[in-house]
Amino acid sequence: MTITAKATPGSQLLTPKDHALILIDYQSQMSFATHSIDAITLRNNAGLISRAAASFKVPAILTTVAEKSFSGPMFHEITDAFQGQALLDRTSMNTWEDEAVIKQVNAIGKKRLVLGGLWTSVCIVGPTLSAIEQGFEVYVVADACGDVSAEAHNRAMDRMVQAGARPMTSLQYLLELQRDWARTETYESTTGIAKIYGGSYGLGLIYAKTMFHAQGG
């Protein structure tokens, strides 16, 4: 049997219009006990996916738990990217059990969801397993999540993947939305985000642009 290749993207790749981003409990109190990832990297990666979603106009849901009474404010790296957007504060550990959040999910109307937040084993596992059971496709940005230990984070990722979740990374999320450097309308924004949040890759872009006036990734 002959297989014919076609220059078309795979259906499992994300596009800016086919999903919603849900950012969960990126708050001070939750980060204090997070040890699977350092706070600087966590905040950077949360900022990266937030800026990526805002740049590509991906609908986002920002939710906190006990913001005023216990957990504190959401990271400014996220709220700065979505200025003026209301935060949905909850009492439930499982975001999927909050009616206000579900109302937003239904209003947005996307079958695909991308999740990131704290902690992986509680606040990400809960909505991921719940959404998958209800027929949603869920992607989890693994390096924008954290937990009380590396073991807790890794076992939570294993559990979600076994249930059908698709793991990815923060830089992967940004570049998957761009996917073609010929898309000039988002080129400057994408490379600009990468220069700030993209670590060594971002430094490479700055170097190439400065030294060789290079284009592309």
The catalytic residue among 23, 123, 124, 140 is 123
Q: Which of 133, 131, 149, 153 is nearest to 141 (CA)?
A: 153
What are the Cα distances from residue 196, in Å, to 15, 76, 80, 192, 212?
22, 15, 14, 7, 19
Catalytic, 145? Answer no
Rounded to 5 degrees, φ, ψ at 148 are: -70, -20
Q: Which residues are catalytic?
A: 123
